[in-house]
Amino acid sequence: MGTHGHARGLSGLGPATLNLKRPEPASRGRFITIEGGEGAGKTTQVRLLVAALERAGIPARATREPGGTSGGEAIRRILLEGDSEKWDMISEALLLLAARKEHVVRLIAPSLAEGIWVVSDRFADSTLAYQGYGRGLSLEDLAMLHRFALGSFAPDLSVILDVPAETGLTRAAARGNVGDRFERLDRAFHERLCQGFRKIAADDIARCALVDGSRDQPTVQRAILDVVEERLGVSL
């Protein structure tokens, strides 16, 4: 693998379509991802979005990456603990993809097939941002890995919370827990992440919506609900 190739992103990948038996389109759930750097407010907004969907009578579940299944949570533990250089960066990408495959096959696709909407705290854009723009792996190689593991599977909508690196790190620090392997990376890494997420959103405007996450929580929440209403045709 080399350094950055063309910004391929997940462009060209269709909506969530695994090679699994598909239900009638009207009954299929929707897959929404919330993305962004450290302290962008993803976890907070995933919770608020699932609550809003349920209030509107739409069955919904929250999940996260890496994680969401027992195998994925085990991978999360070994990835996030310890020194920031503990893993070779390609090994790290492969572990994240293994967790994602488990997540899609065991939790996301079956939920969508049952008509449940799934809202995930991070997904494939985090790999492009952290392992690609942040660590320097080739974006083309990462897109190839995604196709190998998941074919054309992609979220119906990805909300990317745009928060300056400084603001996000301040929020994460104020939360008070000891930073994990990624939070301990240097400031320049977090700046690259921020720019990377903006580029990902600009490269795939059909799937992504960039939302200014630096505003107060209710304002950010309303902006996300507006995007979900507009893109996915529901009233929240």
- Contact residues toward ligand Z5A (CB under 6 A) are 36, 38-44, 65-66, 80, 96, 121-122, 126-127, 130-131, 171-172, 175, 180, 182-183, 216-217, 220
Helices (H), the chain: 42-55, 70-80, 89-103, 109-113, 124-126, 139-150, 165-175, 187-203, 217-232
What distances in angstroms separate CA 176 from CA 82, 112, 132, one per listed residue?
18, 35, 28
Q: What's the one-letter identity of residue 16?
A: A
What is the smallest separation between the CB atom of 41 and ligand Z5A, expressed in angstroms?
A: 3
Please return the burial class of 9, using the count of CB atoms within 10 Å of its CB with bins 0-12, 13-18 and 19+.
Answer: buried
Torsion, Cα of 98, 104, 107, 111 (10° steps): 180
Q: What's the one-letter identity of residue 134?
A: G
Report the residue number, 117 or 123, with the smaller CB distance to ligand Z5A: 123
The span from the CA of 132 to the CA of 197, in Å, is 11
Among the listed residues 183, 144, 152, 166, the one whose alpha carbon sits nearest the alpha carbon of residue 2: 144
Q: Report which secondary-structure segment, H or E, holds 121.
A: strand 117-121
Report the residue number, 140 or 183, with the smaller CB distance to ligand Z5A: 183
Report the residue number, 60 or 160, with the smaller CB distance to ligand Z5A: 160
What is the smallest separation between the CB atom of 7 and ligand Z5A, expressed in angstroms?
A: 17
Report the residue number, 11 or 43, with the smaller CB distance to ligand Z5A: 43
What is the smallest separation between the CB atom of 232 and ligand Z5A, expressed in angstroms?
A: 22
The span from the CA of 112 to the CA of 106, in Å, is 11
What is the smallest separation between the CB atom of 98 and ligand Z5A, expressed in angstroms?
A: 11
What is the smallest separation between the CB atom of 181 and ligand Z5A, expressed in angstroms?
A: 7
Report the residue number, 9 or 41, with the smaller CB distance to ligand Z5A: 41
The span from the CA of 127 to the CA of 54, in Å, is 29
What is the smallest separation between the CB atom of 94 and ligand Z5A, expressed in angstroms?
A: 11
What is the smallest separation between the CB atom of 24 and ligand Z5A, expressed in angstroms?
A: 31
Report the residue number, 16 or 28, with the smaller CB distance to ligand Z5A: 16
Report the residue number, 29 or 36, with the smaller CB distance to ligand Z5A: 36
